[in-house]
């Protein structure tokens, strides 16, 4: 995400990109030897596609990311003489299972025995490992190919080492289950074999095979990919309390700190009095951390007073005793109620045209009926169970930071700048993340602790954010008004669609705020709605940001899918049609959307993916709708006060459809006995973790739909902790989530994302189910726990 944002802010010229690309490749040549660098960029174009090869290389958006990808086995794999294999995992683990799933890909391609594999978490070093920004549901989407290349190259090196040892044709050597076996001329196993450990040294000394000579496994040869039986690597440590998260890092002599920050964005400290704080037992120091007040704020620290103590608790008590006076500045008037009214007024007027096809005004003028619906959504905070925390130490001119961070290299660059140190002297270690959901891509909390350590003369220090800090000083999911007008003709066909979206934009955090959104946000469920409606118009109304707007799992797709999928269901009911049939009909014929003919903006984002590899394919969207409808028994008779609702949405290059079964208690409490989701994320690796992501997405979808909301009063967040920022609990969550994983129907159903795409369809499916059960239409997020 951030990389795209920076691009947007800087408007990077294509020529510069190209130059960087060339520099990058030549640098790798120097570092890794000519063979290693035999042309990542070129390879995508020159790789021949063997007819029976399951992996036909295709371009991805990884090429547009900083430092792109690396697939050098010397970077990612080490084999010990005893046969133990270490695989580097360079993306951050926040619960998706990626720390396990990408190494699984390497291990499978190289024929390693998974029980002999251990993982090494990479520090933030993108020039070495490729892009590490674990965000945008991109890890598998961008790295399945490089990791397969990496594993296949290693396998071929092991086979070549065995061939040299035996003095035979490498074609007679086949890696199998952690050994290389010798084949006879009819390609049957002879029984002769050598273990990987015995081949390690010789294999690692061989040149890395050129990319176009790699042989990838075929579907029938996989041992791990697609199997669904592989447990996450950290499972045991998690269950015995030995997994290391951010706050679990312990350094000799380490101090504990918390910080007081301004409640209103941009507020500056006028004065403070720490007399009582310094009398608090255990408190050792108070340190002022200067904020950065320049706009755009990016991920700079807010500034404030850090209280350093012998324990976290002492620091918290000390902070309570601080007296601080703030000069609050222009954002002190931010008020959610007033702001929502303004957004609704803006949405009622024409806005900036983002996509236009046909003539929607004409369509409405000649329509039999025009239905206008409006959906509101509050801000959200990511609220991972692990509040923000980081540890820093500066010793002998070297800074080390340990943190649960989604983007360790981005953090490293900004920390180096804040510390005024060369980047080579800054190391960022990645711990496990106790949840991330987008918050831990923003490294303000790491800059704070690095500056604090520097001010303490380099002493090791852990800076803990309290839950209240985490709730009140986030980069918030936007608040929005989505207004949709739909025209139908006398045959019940939808002839016109006008969607006006009004929401403060993420780009305000990175560039001067124009009040308008930008291609990334337009591309998330707004301009990319794949409906077969001849007159289609998307407009964006202005909304200035008064808090730091950031991203939250699924980003703009949350309010957009809620609006679009609720709206089309509302229209189905209005014209007396079954919502599922009507949705399929509105999506229309089998096709890959022709962007130009459909009036898409020229800079259509498509999740950063090249459109040719990742088109908007109505076949895939309709497929998941049919799959989920079948599985959930769409159309079945239900008791009174129960109902089914359906919604479907493409995001992060994956297609998801959800049916929610709702049951309304006598007192109006909304319950979900069952939710069924069909997901098509293309060629997939770890079905067990796909299911867990979909189960989790349903729970987060329920939180978004019913419970969670952040509101502002006098410029400050009104919520503080789980007492007033509510999320789904064991008492009320989708009790039974069934996941149907769609099998790819073609070699070009490429791997899409899985961390985020499950979330967007849940809330509209639930709202549609509530309507089916009660006849009440809920249009504002959060909808509340009861239907009244």
Residue ranges binding other proteins (CB under 8 A): 93-97, 231-232, 234-236, 238-245, 247-248, 250, 256, 281-282, 310-314, 316, 383-387, 432-437, 464, 466-467, 688, 692-693, 695-700, 721-723, 727-731, 733-737
For residue 248 the two structure tokens come to: 């679990």
**Of 446 and 700, which CB lies nearer to other proteins in the complex structure?**
700
Q: Report how far residue 446's alpha carbon sits from residue 94's, in angstroms, rounded to the nearest whole number.
A: 17
**Residue 210 beta carbon to other proteins: minimum distance, rounded to whole angstroms:** 39
**Of 248 and 414, which CB lies nearer to other proteins in the complex structure?**
248
**Residue 642 beta carbon to other proteins: minimum distance, rounded to whole angstroms:** 19
**Of 93 and 528, which CB lies nearer to other proteins in the complex structure?**
93
User: Which residues are CB-contacts of 300 (< 8 A; sequence separation ≥ 6)?
Assistant: 291, 292, 294, 444, 447
**Residue 233 beta carbon to other proteins: minimum distance, rounded to whole angstroms:** 11
Q: Which of 400, 414, 396 is nearest to 453 (CA)?
A: 400
Q: Residue 333: helix, strand or coil by DSSP?
A: helix
Q: Report how far residue 208's alpha carbon sits from residue 601's, in angstroms, rounded to the nearest whole number.
A: 43
**Of 186 and 723, which CB lies nearer to other proteins in the complex structure?**
723
**Residue 121 beta carbon to other proteins: minimum distance, rounded to whole angstroms:** 15
**Of 151 and 384, which CB lies nearer to other proteins in the complex structure?**
384
**Residue 173 beta carbon to other proteins: minimum distance, rounded to whole angstroms:** 36
Q: Report how far residue 136's alpha carbon sits from residue 119's, in angstroms, rounded to the nearest whole number.
A: 23
**Of 241 and 397, which CB lies nearer to other proteins in the complex structure?**
241
Q: Report how far residue 671's alpha carbon sits from residue 678's, in angstroms, rounded to the nearest whole number.
A: 21
Please state whether 420 falls in left (phi above 0), alpha (psi between -120 and 50) or beta.
left
Helices (H), 633-664: none
Give residue for tokens 């918030």: 476
The answer to whether 700 touches 639, Cβ cutoff 8 Å, is no
**Residue 280 beta carbon to other proteins: minimum distance, rounded to whole angstroms:** 10
**Of 240 and 597, which CB lies nearer to other proteins in the complex structure?**
240
**Of 338 and 385, which CB lies nearer to other proteins in the complex structure?**
385
**Residue 758 beta carbon to other proteins: minimum distance, rounded to whole angstroms:** 10
Q: Which of 642, 645, 785, 637 is nearest to 705 (CA)?
A: 785
**Of 399 and 699, which CB lies nearer to other proteins in the complex structure?**
699
The answer to whether 652 touches 141, Cβ cutoff 8 Å, is yes
**Of 553 and 622, which CB lies nearer to other proteins in the complex structure?**
553
Q: Report how far residue 111's alpha carbon sits from residue 99's, in angstroms, rounded to the nearest whole number.
A: 19
Q: Report how far residue 286's alpha carbon sits from residue 548's, in angstroms, rounded to the nearest whole number.
A: 26
**Residue 188 beta carbon to other proteins: minimum distance, rounded to whole angstroms:** 38
**Of 152 and 224, which CB lies nearer to other proteins in the complex structure?**
224
**Of 230 and 453, which CB lies nearer to other proteins in the complex structure?**
230
**Of 93 and 513, which CB lies nearer to other proteins in the complex structure?**
93
Distance between first and last Cα of the chain: 39
Which residues lie across from 258 on neighbouring strands? 307
**Residue 391 beta carbon to other proteins: minimum distance, rounded to whole angstroms:** 12
**Of 109 and 470, which CB lies nearer to other proteins in the complex structure?**
470
**Of 501 and 719, which CB lies nearer to other proteins in the complex structure?**
719
For residue 483 the two structure tokens come to: 């207004």
Residue-wise DSSP of 531-589: ---SEEEEEEE----SS-B---TTTTHHHHHHHHHHHHHHHHHHTT--HHHHHHHHH-S
**Residue 433 beta carbon to other proteins: minimum distance, rounded to whole angstroms:** 6
The number of angstroms, rounded, from the C-alpha of 608 to the middle of its chain's C-alpha atoms is 13
Would strands 654-664 and 670-680 be described as parallel, antiparallel, or unpaired?
A: antiparallel
Q: Residue 618: helix, strand or coil by DSSP?
A: helix
**Residue 250 beta carbon to other proteins: minimum distance, rounded to whole angstroms:** 7
**Residue 732 beta carbon to other proteins: minimum distance, rounded to whole angstroms:** 9
What is the SS3 assignment for 187-246?
CCEEEEEEEHHHHHHHHHHCCCCCHHHCCCCCHHHCCCCCCCCCCCCCHHHHHHCCCCEH
Radius of gyration of the chain (CA): 27
Q: Which of 367, 411, 451, 537 is nearest to 125 (CA)?
A: 411
Strands (E), 313-368: 323-327, 352-357
**Residue 108 beta carbon to other proteins: minimum distance, rounded to whole angstroms:** 19
**Of 250 and 349, which CB lies nearer to other proteins in the complex structure?**
250
Q: Report how far residue 432's alpha carbon sits from residue 233's, in angstroms, rounded to the nearest whole number.
A: 12
**Residue 305 beta carbon to other proteins: minimum distance, rounded to whole angstroms:** 19
**Of 366 and 729, which CB lies nearer to other proteins in the complex structure?**
729
Q: Which of 742, 759, 756, 760 is nearest to 628 (CA)?
A: 742
**Residue 476 beta carbon to other proteins: minimum distance, rounded to whole angstroms:** 16
Q: Is the dihedral of CA 500, 727, 243, 235 positive or negative?
A: negative
Altogether, the residues listed in the chain come to a count of: 788
For residue 380 the two structure tokens come to: 């959200």
Q: Which of 435, 693, 382 is nearest to 551 (CA)?
A: 382
**Residue 704 beta carbon to other proteins: minimum distance, rounded to whole angstroms:** 11
Would strands 323-327 and 173-176 be described as parallel, antiparallel, or unpaired?
A: unpaired
Q: Report how far residue 656's alpha carbon sits from residue 680's, in angstroms, rounded to the nearest whole number.
A: 6
**Residue 5 beta carbon to other proteins: minimum distance, rounded to whole angstroms:** 25
Would strands 389-395 and 398-403 be described as parallel, antiparallel, or unpaired?
A: antiparallel
Give residue for tokens 């704080």: 277
For residue 424 the two structure tokens come to: 């080579």
């Amino acid at each position: 995400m951030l990389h795209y944002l920076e691009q947007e802010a800087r408007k990077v010229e294509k020529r510069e990109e190209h130059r960087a690309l060339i520099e990058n490749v030549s640098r790798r040549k120097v570092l890794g030897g000519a063979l290693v660098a035999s042309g990542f960029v070129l390879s995508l174009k020159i790789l021949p596609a063997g007819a029976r090869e399951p992996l036909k290389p295709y371009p991805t958006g990884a090429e547009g990311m900083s430092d792109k990808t690396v697939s050098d086995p010397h970077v990612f794999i080490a084999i010990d003489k005893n046969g133990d294999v270490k695989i580097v995992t360079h993306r951050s683990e926040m619960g998706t299972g990626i720390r396990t799933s990408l190494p699984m890909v390497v291990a499978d391609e190289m024929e390693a025995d998974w029980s002999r594999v251990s993982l090494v978490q990479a520090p933030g070093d993108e020039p070495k490992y490729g892009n590490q920004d674990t965000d945008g549901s991109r890890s598998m989407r961008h790295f399945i190919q490089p990791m397969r290349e990496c594993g296949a190259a290693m396998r071929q090196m092991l086979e070549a080492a065995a061939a040299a040892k035996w003095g035979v044709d490498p074609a007679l050597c086949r890696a199998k289950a952690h050994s290389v076996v010798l084949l006879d001329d009819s390609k049957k196993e002879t029984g002769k074999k050598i273990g990987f450990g015995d081949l390690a040294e010789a294999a690692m000394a061989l040149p890395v095979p050129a990319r176009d000579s790699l042989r990838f496994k075929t579907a029938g040869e996989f041992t791990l990919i697609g199997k669904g039986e592989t447990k996450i690597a950290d499972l045991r440590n998690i269950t015995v309390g030995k997994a290391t998260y951010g706050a679990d890092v312990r350094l000799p002599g380490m101090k504990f700190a918390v910080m007081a920050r301004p409640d209103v964005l941009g507020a500056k400290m006028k004065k403070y009095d720490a007399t009582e704080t310094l009398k608090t037992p255990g408190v050792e120091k108070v340190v002022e951390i200067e904020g950065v007040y320049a706009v755009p704020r990016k991920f700079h620290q807010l500034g404030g007073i850090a209280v350093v103590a012998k324990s976290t608790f002492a620091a918290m008590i000390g902070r309570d005793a601080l007296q601080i006076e703030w000069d609050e500045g222009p954002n002190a008037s931010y008020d959610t109620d007033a702001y929502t009214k303004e957004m609704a007024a803006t949405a009622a007027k024409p806005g900036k045209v983002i996509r236009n096809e046909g003539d929607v005004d004409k369509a409405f003028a000649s329509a039999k009926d025009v239905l206008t619906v409006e959906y509101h959504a509050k801000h959200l905070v990511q609220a991972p169970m692990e509040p923000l925390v980081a540890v820093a130490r500066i010793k002998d001119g070297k800074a080390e930071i340990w943190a649960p961070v989604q983007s360790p290299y981005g953090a490293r660059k900004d920390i180096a700048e804040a510390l005024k140190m060369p980047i080579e002297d800054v190391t960022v270690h990645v711990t496990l993340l106790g949840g991330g959901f987008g918050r831990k891509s923003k490294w303000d909390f790491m800059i704070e602790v690095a500056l604090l350590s520097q001010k303490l003369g380099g002493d090791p220090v852990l800076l803990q954010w309290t839950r209240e800090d985490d709730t009140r000083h986030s980069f918030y999911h936007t608040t929005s008004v989505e207004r949709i007008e739909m025209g139908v003709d006398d045959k019940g066909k939808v002839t016109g669609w006008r969607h006006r979206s009004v929401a403060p934009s993420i780009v305000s955090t990175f560039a001067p705020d124009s009040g308008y959104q930008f291609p990334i946000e337009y591309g998330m469920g707004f301009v990319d709605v794949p409906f077969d409606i001849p007159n289609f118009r998307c407009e964006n109304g202005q909304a200035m940001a008064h808090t730091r707007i950031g991203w939250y799992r699924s980003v703009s797709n949350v309010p957009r899918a809620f609006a679009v999928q609720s709206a089309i269901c509302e229209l189905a009911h209005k014209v007396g049609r079954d919502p599922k049939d009507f949705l399929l009909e509105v999506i229309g014929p089998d096709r890959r959307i022709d962007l130009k003919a459909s009036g898409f903006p020229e800079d259509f984002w498509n999740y950063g993916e090249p459109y040719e590899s990742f088109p908007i394919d109505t076949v895939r969207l309709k497929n998941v709708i049919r799959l989920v409808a079948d599985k959930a028994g769409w159309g079945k008779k239900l008791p009174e006060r129960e109902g089914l609702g359906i919604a479907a949405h493409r995001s992060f290059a994956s297609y998801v459809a959800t049916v929610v079964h709702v049951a309304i208690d006598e007192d109006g409490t909304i319950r979900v006995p069952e939710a069924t989701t069909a997901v098509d994320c293309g060629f997939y690796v770890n079905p067990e973790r796909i299911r867990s992501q979909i189960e989790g997405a349903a729970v987060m979808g329920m939180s978004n739909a019913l419970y969670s909301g952040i509101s502002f009063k006098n410029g400050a967040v009104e919520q503080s902790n789980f007492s007033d920022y509510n999320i789904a609990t064991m008492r009320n969550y989708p009790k039974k989530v069934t996941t149907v994983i769609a099998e790819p129907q073609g070699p070009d159903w490429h791997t899409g994302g899985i961390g985020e795409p499950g979330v967007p369809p849940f809330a509209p499916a639930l709202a549609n189910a509530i309507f089916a059960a009660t006849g009440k239409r809920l249009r504002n997020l959060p909808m509340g726990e009861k239907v009244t």
